[in-house]
A = this chain, B = another copy of it.
Amino acid sequence: MRTKEQFHDNLAQMRPNVYIGGEKVGRDDPRLLPGIRVYDMVLDLAGDPEWKGVATVKSPLVDKEINRFCHLPQTPQDLIQKQKLIRLGARRAGGCVQRCMGLDGITALAVCTKEIDMAKGTDYHERFLKFMRYYQENELAGCCAQTDSKGDRMKRPFQQNDPNQYVHIVERRNDGIMVSGYKMSITTAPYAEEMIVIPTRALGKEDADYAVAFAIPPDTEGISLVTRPVWHRDFKDGTTSPFCKLGVSDSLVIFDNVFIPNDRVFMCGEWDFGRRIALLFANSHRHSYCGCKPAISDILCGATILAAEANNIMKASHIKEKLTEFAGASALAYAAGIAATLFGKKTDSGVFFPNPVYSNVGRRLSGELVYHEYNILTEVAGGIAVTMPFHEDFKKGDNVDHLNKFILRNPQVPADESLKIWKFVEELGTSAMSAWYKVAGVHGGGSPIMETISLGLDYDFEDKKNVARYLAGIDETLDDSRMRQEEPVAALSPDAQKEVMVGQPN
């Protein structure tokens, strides 16, 4: 498997086009390191024999074992392992495993290029598969750039005063296209090796130039990454906790007349597939959230337990009750992902795609609960999370002795452990990184209002209305045969198991 050393070598060779605070920096800037460490962690897991089959998978496309984050899900089993990997990885990453966006991006492209080709007679899918083989052979780390800066929200792309508010084609050449525009909130861009670029919304006929999808290295000429890293206070301190060494970064990606060669172009003007590709990414990503959000609940649950133990209040009657709220948040979202797999379906591309209703209810629940879950931690931990003296005060100066006594609460928890606990609670619950997680918890993959809209489209309201019409005596019979015959793919249908492999004729 590919190692983190190989990954770092590649980063070192990239064109410097990352900007932080008005200055151009290299990909070795220490402020990028907390995010890079998460990528490293994923590569480490893939290299660990114990994680074989979870962090890795044999890809039929390249016929070898690869990092699962480079793999297109083809079976229910693939989705179940993906969801599990995201959860377990996110628990170790302290929150965001950072590789899902790339995975959900290639998933959306795989499905949509096939569908465009079938509708339009184009050859995007073949181009994409060629790219995919290269991507998998090298086990590259990709990010996904979907969210445009959007400008005036009351206007569609072609109506914007500034066309750059949505990434768009500025010129069509024989060998490729030139694109310009802004993509914002692009997570992990400065340490990704490929950037999957797709539209962010439904498009109209006049928006044809905005119907563009491609994959390109983020250091391509014409691209600037104006980056905002987030990190914990002492991420440079070698002795700090795993949690504090990790972080993330988001970028405003500026495309200023960037050339995309034809073999990297996967959509070019097919505006009627704008909504489709946008939702394919969103729904795949909402399934990913059914893995990652339970991880965040797990971490918050664990931190709340540690805080309760440090306060020696585990026996207070309301503590266990509050802890089971995390159990509910975590298990319901995870179950939604499982059901999304069980009721998912094989697409024409061979990709096995999760059921959107279940993915959306799972993601929505997560988004609705995230602030509340941090609230629980705060309730149990108390004010200490924001009022505790700085770490340095425990190490030097006139008050070290007093502070090490002060921090002793539960007699079973020694001073150094107590300090680690409260520092963890502080960083988890009240740092700038914590704010990032709350905002991402609401908006990543689409905020609850977006899932509500999706459910308004996808949920079978007609069926419910028919039940009511039957019971009210308006209709004489009720036809529920579709539901009666519906069977979950897994365990049951030999057909779903049949490997219609991505990239093979079907």
Contacts and interface: CB of A to CB of B under 8 A. Distances in A.
A330 to B, nearest CB: 8
Interface in A68-123: 72, 74-77, 80, 84, 87-88, 91-92, 94, 110
A439 B499 contact: no
Contact of A491 (B94, B351, B456, B493): B493
B403 A226 contact: yes
Contacts of A326: 464
A267 interface: no
Contacts of A405: 162, 164
A335 B350 contact: no
Main secondary structure of the interface of A (DSSP, over half): helix
Interface in A343-393: 346, 348-352, 357-358, 361-362, 364-365, 370-372, 374-375, 378-379, 382-390, 392-393
A210 interface: no
Interface string A322-353: 01101110011011101110100010111110
A331 B358 contact: yes
Interface residues of A, number: 190
A357 B431 CA distance: 32
Interface stretch (A4-12, A143-151, A199-207, A280-288): A143-151
A305 interface: yes
18 contacts: A74-B501, A76-B496, A152-B410, A224-B399, A241-B473, A242-B473, A250-B387, A317-B318, A320-B456, A323-B459, A324-B459, A327-B459, A375-B438, A383-B439, A386-B439, A424-B472, A489-B492, A490-B496
A385 B350 CA distance: 39
Interface string A262-281: 00000000000000000000
A471 to B, nearest CB: 4
A375 to B, nearest CB: 4
A240 interface: yes
B226 A305 contact: no
Nearest to A78: B492
Interface stretch (A32-40, A167-175, A307-315): A307-315
A6 to B, nearest CB: 24
Contacts of A357: 327, 331
Given A152-B411, A153-B409, A250 B386 contact: yes
A14 interface: no
Contact of A305 (B182, B411, B468): B468
A184 B387 contact: yes
A1 interface: no
A247 interface: no
Contacts of A429: 435, 439
Given A323-B459, A335-B339, A489-B492, 6 more contacts: A185-B383, A228-B386, A302-B467, A335-B362, A379-B447, A488-B493
A152 B409 contact: yes
Contacts of A442: 375, 378-379
A53 B478 CA distance: 19
Contacts of A474: 417, 420-421
A120 to B, nearest CB: 19
B302 A466 contact: yes
Given A424-B471, A464-B326, A492-B489, A335 B358 contact: yes
A450 to B, nearest CB: 11
Contacts of A312: 152-154
Nearest to A125: B503
Contact of A317 (B76, B317, B495): B317
A275 B474 CA distance: 38
A28 interface: no
A489 to B, nearest CB: 4
Contact of A352 (B149, B241, B496): B496
Given A250-B387, A489-B493, A490-B342, A471 B506 contact: no
A455 interface: yes
Interface in A453-492: 455-456, 459, 461, 463-474, 478, 480-481, 483-484, 486-492
A208 interface: no
A49 interface: no
A340 B335 CA distance: 8
A324 B74 contact: no
A16 to B, nearest CB: 11
A60 to B, nearest CB: 4
B331 A467 contact: no
B22 A324 contact: no
A255 to B, nearest CB: 10
Contacts of A339: 331, 334-335, 338-339
